[in-house]
Structure 1
Amino acid sequence: MSNNPSDTLPAVDAMRKYWDVITPLMGGTMAMRAAGKSLLPQYPAEADESYKERLSLSTLLPAYSETVGNMTSRVFAEPLQVGDDVPDQLKEMTKDIDHAGNDLNSWAVEFFREGLSHGLCHAFIDHPTVDGVRTQAEEAAAGVRPYAVMVKPEQVLGWRSKGGQLTMFRYIESVEEEDGEFGAKCVDQIRVLEPGSWRTYRMGSNGGAWALHDEGTNSLKKISLVTFYTGRTGFMTAKPPLLELAHLNVKHWQSQSDQDNILHVIRVPILVRIGVQATFDNQGKPVPPEFKVGTGSLTDLPKDGDLKYVEHTGAAVKAGREALQDLIDEMRMAGAKLLTPEKSATKTATQADEEAAQELSPLARMASHFADCLAQLLQFMADYRGLGDGGTVEMRGNFDVDYMPEVSLPTLVAMANAGMLSKETLFAEMQRRGVISDEYDWAKEFAKIEAQGPALGTM
């Protein structure tokens, strides 16, 4: 039995093992360095100071975070579209969906990115209460309205459910409060959401136990929480879909550190003396011979002695460089798998009767699920205002398999030059890849090409 609101569920602890790898990768070089030995092990015979120096000089190739960013950009290649069936009041609210100045599209980018990187992300609709405000007209006059709150995976502590319905959701948040006339301080608090009510807990002074801080009610009969999954494994649980890419990226981080370290070593030649015999004092202790190195200095050596620099052959450097390149290629393939089409059954029985199974990439399916999540958030906002149907949201992303346009475009140009592809099709393919703006029209461009005459050097 536990009455401590900060206790985490075993399912949360299991997911945090994934996030211990994912979160530093998303944070970049500084976050990877802060992770220390957990992601960059210390060599068995490596001195602490040497390890600290190696860690401080290690840099991250941001393959994981850039892949997540690129895939997110594909989903938002065009701004999301709020359906015509969304009530006008909600459309107005989407211009500032989080009550912090972010419109729905801008806010949704971070929501999707977090869900893609960690496997899932949560959001709920909150509605502040103000004393003396009872009608919607009074709420509008006071600026009180429902708004979206994002809850990142690392914030979640636990939940409860019954019959597949969420009955409790706990997470930790940081609240900024005034501190004196000019200062500000951040206070950690735990928020507990339940159908029709909420509570917050704060830790007592001097590190005491968590105690009830505030509580309240709302008009909804269920928790207004939406969970966006990209790698669902069960109710409220998920595995990051790009976890294997994350492991490859960590491996590259470690290998790059080794490569930088060996480069540092071989760039400093070792000075070796051969044939110098030790001398001893009256007590039998060896006396180090006088040794001078530098311009204007002279060093005496015994007969048949030798003094030279010993340098590394560099064979290990070449092998390390090739291994790093192989890792980059593997990471590229691991990231591209989200664009590989898969056979997926259609969603509803009606669609199943009308259509055959269709090919969808994992990223396209994620975007479709994400649109449903945003629509559910709008529905919760509509429920707070009694507006009926909250409407739909449409994602218009770019889910083409062409993961690296710089590789495919030269092939397309060569095909066009060989007469195997029309110039109009080449123009369309370049537009599809974002090389040419969609504002341009082929017919008009072709007319301009004909009017300008032959290119220089073709006469």
Structure 2
Amino acid sequence: MSDNPSITLPAVDAMRAYWAVITPLMGGTMAMRSAGKTLLPQYPAEDGDSYKERLRLSTLLPAYSETVGNMTSRVFAEPLQVGDDVPEAIQVMAKDIDMAGNDLNSWSVEFFREGLSHGVCHAFVDHPPAEGVRTQADEQAAGVRPYVVLVKPEQVLGWRSTGGVLTMIRYIEVVEEEDGDFGAKCVEQVRVLEPGKWRTYRRAEKGGAWALHDEGTNSLTRIPWVTFYTGRTGFMTAKPPLLELAHLNVKHWQSQSDQDNILHVIRVPILVRIGVQPMFNDQGQPVPPEFKVGTGSLTDLPSTGDLKYVEHTGQAVEAGRTALQDLIGEMRMAGAKLLTPEKAATKTATQAEEEAAQELSPLARMANHFGDCLAQLLQYMAEYRGLGEGGAVEMRGNFDVDYMPEVSLPTLVAMANAGMISKETLFTEMQRRGVISDEYNWPEELEKIEGQGPALGAL
């Protein structure tokens, strides 16, 4: 039994093993360097200073973070659409959904990105203390209203549930407080949410015991908490859907470090002397012979001696370069799997008749689930205001399998030149891939083409 609010559940510890790889990859080169030997092992015969220098010079190919960013951009290729059934008051709040100047669409980008990279992410609806506020007019005048809070997966410490319903959630947060006339200090605290109430705990001193700092109540009968899953394994637990890509990216990080290190070594030829006899002093200790290398200097060698530079053949360098290229190809394939359509069971009998062969990509299913999560947040905001239903949110992403337009466009151009597709189709496909702006249309462009005369190549 533990009364320590900062204790973590075994399920959280298991997920943190994934995030120990994911978080540095999302943080870039500096975060990977900070991870040190965890993600870049030291060679058995490598001294500490050499390892530190190799680590300092290592750079990351951001395959994982860029894949997550690109997939997120696809989900938000068009701004999300708040349904007509969303109350007007909630629509107004959505323009500053987090009370920090971010509208619902902008705030949701980070929510989705974090969930995609880590497999899960959380948010809840908070409400400032409303003491003395009795009407909505009073709330508006005081600036008191519900707003959303993003809780990253690493912050969550533990939870309790009954019948699949969340009854308690604990997470760690850092709040900024004034320190003197001009300074500010960051204070770490644990927040505990339960139906209708909340508590915060802080340490009396660094390393000391946690003690109750503040508490309060709210008007809801359930915890206004929403969890977005992209790789759900159970209640409140998940596995990052791109974990294999993450491992490949770490492998590339290590291989790239090896490649850079061997290039650094072989670029400096090694000067070798052969046939020099050792010299000893009166005490029988070896004395290195005087040796000078450089322009205008002379070195004596015995008749059987030799002096030459030894250089690397470069075979290992080429093998390393090929291995890195192969890894890039494997990472590209691992990242593209989110766009590969999968047959999904339909939700109702009617849909089963009409859409029996419907296929959805994993990314499309994630986007649909994400829209439901946002709608649930709006529902909690509506409940705080007594507005009934909170309405729906529609995601309008681009889930085309053609995830690399630069690969498919040359093929399309070749097909158009061979007469296998029309120029209008080529124009449309380029617009669909974002190469040509949607502001243009084919009839007008065709008229311009015909009016500009023959191309230079035809003169």
Residue 4 (structure 2) pairs with residue 41 (structure 1): no
Query: SS in structure 2 opposite 1:256?
Result: helix
Deviation of the 1:253 alpha carbon: 0.5
Is contact 1:5-1:190 (8 Å) kept? yes
Distance 1:198 1:348 in 2: 39
The 1:206–1:250 alpha-carbon spacing in structure 2 relative to 1, beyond 3 Å, is closer
Distance 2:218 2:197 in 1: 6
Is contact 1:273-1:305 (8 Å) kept? yes
Structure 1 residue identity aligned to 2:170 = R
Deviations 1:89-119 (A, max 9, x none): 1111111100001111110000000000000
Distance 2:244 2:167 in 1: 34
Structure 1 residue identity aligned to 2:161 = S
Query: SS in structure 1 opposite 2:79?
Result: coil
Distance 2:20 2:260 in 1: 25
Query: SS in structure 2 opposite 1:176?
Result: strand
Deviation of the 1:353 alpha carbon: 4.4
Please report the RMSD computed on the Cα atoms of aligned residues, expressed in angstroms: 1.0
Query: SS in structure 1 opposite 2:140?
Result: helix
| Equivalent position of 2:287 in the other structure | 287
Deviation of the 1:354 alpha carbon: 3.9
Is contact 1:346-1:357 (8 Å) kept? no
The 1:181–1:268 alpha-carbon spacing in structure 2 relative to 1, beyond 3 Å, is same
The 1:138–1:169 alpha-carbon spacing in structure 2 relative to 1, beyond 3 Å, is same
Deviations 1:173-218 (A, max 9, x none): 0000001111101000000000000000001124210000000000
Distance 1:79 1:437 in 2: 17
Residue 243 (structure 2) pairs with residue 212 (structure 1): no
Residue 299 (structure 2) pairs with residue 299 (structure 1): yes
Matches within 5 A, 1:88-237: 88-237=88-237
Distance 1:179 1:414 in 2: 66
Structure 2 residue identity aligned to 1:74 = R
Distance 1:148 1:314 in 2: 57
Structure 2 residue identity aligned to 1:72 = T
Is contact 1:201-1:212 (8 Å) kept? yes
| Equivalent position of 2:79 in the other structure | 79
Structure 2 residue identity aligned to 1:170 = R
Distance 1:355 1:320 in 2: 49
| Equivalent position of 2:325 in the other structure | 325
Distance 2:357 2:125 in 1: 35
Structure 1 residue identity aligned to 2:133 = V
Query: SS in structure 2 opposite 1:263?
Result: helix
Matches within 5 A, 1:367-446: 367-446=367-446
Larger mean Cα displacement after TM superposition, 446-455 or 33-42: 446-455
Deviation of the 1:356 alpha carbon: 1.7
Deviation of the 1:299 alpha carbon: 1.5
Distance 2:347 2:295 in 1: 80
Structure 2 residue identity aligned to 1:28 = G
Query: SS in structure 2 opposite 1:395?
Result: strand
Matches within 5 A, 1:354-365: 354-365=354-365
Distance 1:299 1:347 in 2: 86
Deviations 1:237-266 (A, max 9, x none): 000000000000000000001111111110
Is contact 1:203-1:210 (8 Å) kept? yes
Deviation of the 1:132 alpha carbon: 1.4
Q: How many matched pairs?
A: 459
Identity percentage over the alignment? 84
Distance 1:134 1:298 in 2: 97
Structure 2 residue identity aligned to 1:372 = D
Unmatched segments (≥5 aa) in structure 1: none
| Equivalent position of 2:309 in the other structure | 309
Deviations 1:353-393 (A, max 9, x none): 44324110000000000001001100100010011111111
Larger mean Cα displacement after TM superposition, 360-369 or 205-214: 205-214
Deviation of the 1:135 alpha carbon: 1.6
Larger mean Cα displacement after TM superposition, 259-268 or 440-449: 440-449
Structure 2 residue identity aligned to 1:37 = K
Distance 1:389 1:442 in 2: 44
Distance 1:349 1:181 in 2: 66
Is contact 1:115-1:229 (8 Å) kept? yes
Deviations 1:333-366 (A, max 9, x none): 0000000000001223442344324110000000
Distance 1:373 1:32 in 2: 32
| Equivalent position of 1:2 in the other structure | 2
| Equivalent position of 1:276 in the other structure | 276
Distance 1:452 1:259 in 2: 52
Structure 2 residue identity aligned to 1:280 = F
Deviation of the 1:302 alpha carbon: 1.7
Larger mean Cα displacement after TM superposition, 353-362 or 38-47: 353-362
Query: SS in structure 1 opposite 2:458?
Result: coil
Structure 1 residue identity aligned to 2:335 = G
Distance 2:224 2:357 in 1: 33
Distance 1:259 1:147 in 2: 49
Distance 1:391 1:407 in 2: 41
The 4+ residue runs of structure 1 with deviation greater than 6 A are none
Is contact 1:190-1:202 (8 Å) kept? yes
Normalised by the length of structure 2, the TM-score is 0.98
Structure 2 residue identity aligned to 1:295 = T
Structure 1 residue identity aligned to 2:84 = D
Distance 2:9 2:134 in 1: 38
The 1:206–1:245 alpha-carbon spacing in structure 2 relative to 1, beyond 3 Å, is closer
Distance 1:207 1:239 in 2: 32
Distance 1:206 1:383 in 2: 39
| Equivalent position of 2:52 in the other structure | 52
Deviation of the 1:7 alpha carbon: 0.4
Residue 27 (structure 2) pairs with residue 27 (structure 1): yes
Query: SS in structure 2 opposite 1:257?
Result: helix
Deviations 1:294-315 (A, max 9, x none): 2232222122221111111010
